[in-house]
Amino acid sequence: MYNLTALREEFPVLEEVIYLDNAATTQTPVRSVEAICDFFYEYAGNYGRATHRLARETTIRCEESREELATFLGAYPEQIIWTGNTTGAINLVSQGLPWKKGDEVLCTALEHHSNLLPWMALKKRGVKIGIIPQEGGYVDPDSVSDMITGKTRVVAVTQMTNVTGTIQPVDEIADITHDAGAVIVVDGAQSVGHIPVDITKMDYLAIAGHKGLLGPQGVGALYAEDPATLSESQYGGGTVASVSFEEVTLRPVPARLEPGTPNIPGIIGMGPAIRLVDELGAEEIADHEEALGIALFDALEELGLVDIFSPRGTSVLSFGVQGLHPDLVATRLDEMASICVRSGMHCAEPYARSFCDQGTVRASVACYNTREEVLVLADTLREMLDAWDPDSEPDYIPEPDPWEKSKCP
């Protein structure tokens, strides 16, 4: 086990709050923030755009981060395509593959909107969408076998759900997918950096920089086993080798799939963050987070009036407090004990709504959380329940939020 006390020194905000909203975004370590500051203070130039020393240094640092991520995954640097987020990575695949009317995509009933809406949008092009059922937070590979056909082009599946933290049998699903002549697209937003990830059988893996990899927001990546299978969905600077009014010659991958100026400080900040995760070890992180999940599950189970929707031991634990709106529970946890959790649909509305029309309360742990913190959450809920008078409790109506339908934490 790594030194948890030393690790927490990388995240000063943890002295102020109990942060259990890691499925939305993790905190960023000091070393990553310092690397970003160094960029702005010492060598800020544009990536791949000039020969002067600042631009050269910028380009070197960005490529070092690409190499860090490739090494972490066991991939080649040219298989890593920078995007703005996991959403951008999945859209890069959905828009970059050739489609014809009658093609089919299979998604699971567990998906975050980012691994559902890009495929649903293909209906406009005559592509059919099938939803693979789930039971208890898991997809049975036999269900994939039952639904897949010769017209199936893509099977899209989350490796770890952002609502209940369940881990799907990606390797088995990949075997079934490949036997049918289709490709598998894996949403790794919640898995990469939290658990060991084997890319061997994955055709595409969408990666979030700001979750398990501890990087800054606004950076994501796509691992593509063969990036040449993807066509460009956007065009512009940085993608071309030469341009005339008659002809355009594109650069090789990954450059031709990375148009425009990227999030340079974010990409540079990814390098130190990935190295930190690598130093801790994916196995050690997974073991630590599982232990925290078990401790929290057991403590909540003792409370009564709390419905737990996640299996025991997941690092993302969704629950509901009987009689109280999830938003009210989350607000009171913050007010009473500076505990940060998420409430609502978690941008996975079909799955979250299957538990409660109002969504769930979600506590999600990361490598830097402690057993004491998750027990404080349980103790605060107990205090909340002890003080609750259902006869005098006013109905809680959340303030209208015009962005609620599109927010994707």
Classify residue 32 as exposed, middle or buried by CB count within 10 Å of its CB (0-12, 13-18, 19+).
buried
- Quick check: is 347 catalytic? yes
What residues contact 240, with CB distance under 8 A and at least 6 apart?
Answer: 248, 249, 250, 251, 256
What residues contact 96, with CB distance under 8 A and at least 6 apart?
Answer: 229, 230, 231, 232, 233, 257
Report the distance separating Cα 331 and Cα 338, nearest Å.
9
Q: Which of 340, 347, 367, 408 is catalytic?
A: 347
Q: Which tokens hold the place of 346?
A: 């978690």
Spell out where 172-239 has E strands: 183-187, 204-208, 220-224
Tokens 């994955």 belong to: 202
Sign of CA dihedral 12, 364, 306, 313: negative
- DSSP at 255: G
Classify residue 292 as exposed, middle or buried by CB count within 10 Å of its CB (0-12, 13-18, 19+).
buried
What residues contact 31, with CB distance under 8 A and at least 6 apart?
Answer: 10, 272, 273, 276
Active site positions, annotated: 347
